[in-house]
Structure 1
Amino acid sequence: MLAQTALAGATSFRPLRFSDDGTFQISIFKDLHFGKSKDLVSYNNDRNSITVLNTILNAESPDLVVLNGDLITGENGFLENATVYIDQIIGPLVDRGLTWASMYGNHDHQYNLSAEALLEREQSYANARTQRMVSGHDAGVSNYYLPVYGSDGSSDPKLLLWFFDSRGGNYFRELDKSGNIVPQPNWYNKTIPLLAFVHIPTNASLAAQTVVGIDANSKPGINNNVPLAQQGQGWCEDGTNSNDCAYGGQDIPFIKALVKTPGVLGVFSGHDHGNTWCYKWDSELQLPGVGGGNGLNLCFGQHSGYGGYGSWIRGSRQLLLSEEALGRGELDTWIRLESGDVVGSVSLNGTYGEDLYPATPNDMTHS
């Protein structure tokens, strides 16, 4: 009944625009992990995740909802039933007349789970803006961009939102000559402008964590996944998948594009459930093969779903952009928790990393 209700409530959406007051808000939900298993525990986890969505959307008023990867735990999903999880996830959005954009993560790409089928299901709702602009076996599925136009009604975009499928997981229904499931590479290497969303973080985030360090007051957020899992993890330099290789460096072209493209404000990732901080990457951190950063903000969201590992309190990162602040390369962000509390409220401006903020409590919730 949920799917029928949601489909019946779908409406057409105009192009994304800044509001009359010149602002545009994004709510990011990451790592929902619906369908973790086929038992009562998983059923209750998914119900709790729906409660998280409802609670946060009741407290916030986003112009766009971003579903930042691992919507489903695909290892336990199958083509004939996985689309039902899409209906459950987007039900709270459709009920409120909200529009959303997704990109898929490693758990959304599995032998028994087709990301193409997930996209088709999303696109059956008029509320969905998720697209596929890059075709090909090695491109992933959810690679696209969305323009956001100005409040004055002009036809020139004020902001571009780029979504990248960081892949990972396994290819759908593919076996090698020995009958083994074929792993899918977990990196991306295209040039992007302005604001980016990608499920698996780049090696720059790992370097920020392990080389510079994440101070609790200047870079507030929990920092429990140390070392974090980045793009290229578990792949050798020659492109073979092996537990003997820590990192193959395949995301270096992607990182170079991030720091060399003018106007990129930030990259927002998921994947590492126990990390919620932001780091402004400047010349302090020199990354081998890349060099220093240009002030790019590397941010994690909050683990949103009750599926997946970890019991950190669930929540959603909020982004508030204004046409006026865009000219200075600034935006405000905070995390709204399922408790209703707000933590990690910061301004990603020119002095972020120097300003001091309250440390984020390392709270847990247990289902």
Structure 2
Amino acid sequence: MGKSLTHFSVQSVLNLYVHLQAVLTVGFAFSQPQETIGLRTTPENDHLRMRAAGGPFKISLFADLHFGENAWTDWGPLQDFNSVKVMSTVLDHETPDFVIYLGDVITANNMAVANASLYWDQAISPTRVRGIPWASIFGNHDDAPFEWPLDWFSDSGIPQLFCPAVNSSYSGEEECDFRGTHRIELMKKEIDYNVLSHSKNGPKDLWPSISNYVLQVSSSHDRQMAVAYMYFLDSGGGSYPEVISSAQAEWFRHKAEEINPDSRVPEIVFWHIPSKAYKKVAPWFGVHKPCVGSINKESVAAQEAEMGIMKILVKRTSVKAVFVGHNHGLDWCCPYQNLWLCFARHTGYGGYGNWPRGARILEITEQPFSLKSWIRMEDGSVNSEVILSS
């Protein structure tokens, strides 16, 4: 949940858009060189490569950024600026090979116009300007319906609408209204306008679920040799129920059996809202063995129902871990049968909670295979290292 809607003024909106255009012009982050973003000119690529000479493949998970929250106040743009600082710190310390945006990239229910792609562009800017490829999945806030502020129905009335100027993936006037931006539009714009994006819509028959796809991490010496498979699933919320459907579960099962029939290649799974299995393994009070983490400050807010995905995952010996966001006050990893269930770390300054921000890091090693994880904090410190492949 984000902060509640408060006072809105025409001048605040104007100031906000002036601010946004200014930060976009300079690449958004701390005097970064100006970037030029064009339409995708290379084919979509399902393969990522391990580093040469046997080096590990490193991934940063950015969860619950909540860009665009309370954008009509002074508080809102400041939180987005602070979120960029967190991501920049993590990226500069870790120099990852890949970034995963783990849902709730934006707070769409706080967005007064169909400008979600403007905020989405800001959220991916620290990764994009560094030339790092990424993938994204959806959370429950990314296409939530706009919530009308009650203040707008007072004597002052609904404010005049100021539309953003044209930028890399948002074209202003024709879409400038109060309808919000749906999942399919957000994903299309990310894919079409970013050659570094590995995100996908996924199979059309899984609609309204969008971000369902798989990426292969390949050996550095053989592009066809898989070191790991990474599966991405849309856990719903916003415009449809918070659930991974039975159709998605079956899609995963068929896909996994097709590309990894003997379960020889390790598999890693990502979605936003934790499954009910997370409630079964959640530690009481602090974080204690066999769990590993640094904060355990709230109860697990799980999906509305379990439609079969966990039963499929636990039957596959190749599945090493599941990673989710959603709960800002949890960052633990706990074993569940033959795999690990992990939370990321709340990265963004938007959203609830005042716990220090950070990001979960994953490191894949090829020979012998290992999956290691730790948390890099906004102050540069590291904690909660754990081996997830044993």
1:184 paired residue number: 241
> Normalising by the residue count of structure 2, what TM-score does the alignment of the two structures yield?
0.73
Query: What secondary structure is seen at the aligned counterpart in 2 of 1:7?
Result: coil
Contact 1:319 1:331 in 2 (8 A): yes
CA distance in 2, matches of 1:184, 1:26: 29
The question of whether the paired residues in 2 share the 8 Å contact of 1:65 and 1:98 is answered with yes
Counterpart of 1:127 (choices 196, 199, 208) is: 196
161, 179, 182: which one aligns with 1:114: 182
Partner SS state of residue 26, structure 1: strand
Deviation at 1:204, TM superposition (A): 0.8
Aligned equivalent of 1:259: 314
Q: Which amino acid aligns with 1:144?
A: Y
* Per-residue deviation, 1:186: 2.8
- Seen in structure 2, the aligned counterparts of structure 1 residues 276 and 21 have a Cα distance that, compared at 3 Å, is farther
Pick aligned residue for 1:101 from 126, 135, 145:
135
In the TM superposition, structure 1's runs of 4+ consecutive aligned residues that sit over 6 Å from their partners are none
Aligned length: 305
CA distance in 1, matches of 2:325, 2:41: 29
Question: CA offsets, 1:10-36, max 9 Å, x none?
Answer: 885963111113321111000000011
Output the CA distance in 1 between the equivalents of 2:221 and 2:63: 32
Change in Cα spacing, 1:338 to 1:10, as seen in structure 2 (3 Å) is farther
**Matched residue, 1:18:** 50
Instruction: Find the residue that maps to 1:159 and give its secondary structure.
Output: strand
Q: Secondary structure at the match of 2:217?
A: strand
Measure how far apart 1:165 and its partner are. Answer: 0.6
Q: 1:266-281, aligned counterparts within 5 Å? A: 266-281=321-336
1:311 has 2:384 as partner: no
Q: Report if the CA contact (8 A) 1:72-1:108 is conserved.
A: yes
Whether the 8 Å CA contact 1:28–1:66 is kept in 2: the answer is: yes
Q: CA deviation at 1:257?
A: 1.0
- 2:70 aligns with 37
Alpha carbons 2:115, 2:181 under 8 Å: kept: no
Task: Supply the AA of the counterpart residue of 2:276.
Answer: N
Structure 1 157/139 Cα, relative in aligned 2: closer, same or farther at 3 Å?
Answer: farther
Question: In the TM superposition, what are the counterparts of 1:205-224 in structure 2 within 5 Å?
Answer: 205-209=278-282, 215-216=287-288, 218-224=290-296
Normalized per residue, the structure richer in strand is 1
Q: Which letter does structure 1 place at the counterpart of 2:329? A: G
| C-alpha deviation, 1:185, in angstroms | 3.9
TM-superposition CA deviations, 1:330-352 (whole Å, max 9, x none): 411110011000011122243xx
215-224 vs 147-156, greater mean Cα deviation: 215-224
Shift of residue 139 of structure 1? 4.1
Instruction: Give the secondary-structure state (helix, strand or coil) at the position aligned to 2:379.
Output: coil
Structure-1 separation of matches of 2:287 and 2:132: 36
Q: Which residue identity lines up with residue 319 of structure 2 in the other structure?
A: V
C-alpha distance 78-125 of structure 1, shift in aligned 2 (>3 A)? farther
Change (3 A) 1:16 1:81: same
Question: What is the one-letter code of the residue matched to 1:304?
Answer: T
Structure number with greater Rg is 2
Alignment partner, residue 154 of structure 2: none
Deviation at 1:117, TM superposition (A): 1.7
1:54 has 2:54 as partner? no
Determine which structure has the larger helix proportion and give its number.
2
Report matched runs for 1:222-261 at 5 Å. Answer: 222-232=294-304, 250-261=305-316
Give the CA deviation at 1:127: 0.8
Q: Which of 248, 268, 274 is the aligned partner of 1:195?
A: 268
Paired AA for residue 348 in structure 1: L
Are the structure 2 counterparts of residues 11 and 218 from structure 1 closer, same or farther at C-alpha, using a change threshold of 3 Å? farther
Q: What percentage of residue pairs aligned between the two structures are identical?
A: 35
- Is this contact kept in 2: 1:165–1:188, CA < 8 A? no
Structure 2 residues not aligned, in runs of 5+: 1-24, 29-33, 146-179, 257-266
Kindly state the Cα deviation for residue 51 of structure 1 after the two structures are TM-superposed.
0.7
Q: Give CA-to-partner distance per residue, 1:180-221, whole Å, 9 cap, x none.
A: xxx5343344135511000011111111016x8864354232
**Residue-by-residue CA offset, 1:9-65 (whole Å, 9 max, x unaligned):** 988596311111332111100000001112110100000001111111010121110
Q: Distance in 1 between matches of 2:113 and 2:222?
A: 42
Q: Specify whether residues 125 and 314 from structure 1 end up closer, same or farther in structure 2 by C-alpha distance, changes over 3 A only.
A: same
Larger deviation, residues 104-113 vs 52-61: 104-113
Aligned residues of 1:24 and 1:320 also touching (Cα < 8 A): yes
| 8-17 or 189-198, which deviates more | 8-17
Question: Could you say which residue in structure 2 is the equivalent of 1:165?
Answer: 234
Once the 2 structures are TM-superposed, how far is the Cα of residue 137 of structure 1 from its aligned partner?
6.7
| CA distance 1:7–1:43, change in 2 (3 Å) | same
What are the Cα deviations for residues 156-187 of structure 1, in whole angstroms up to 9, with x where unaligned?
32211100010112x2xxxxxxxxxxx53433
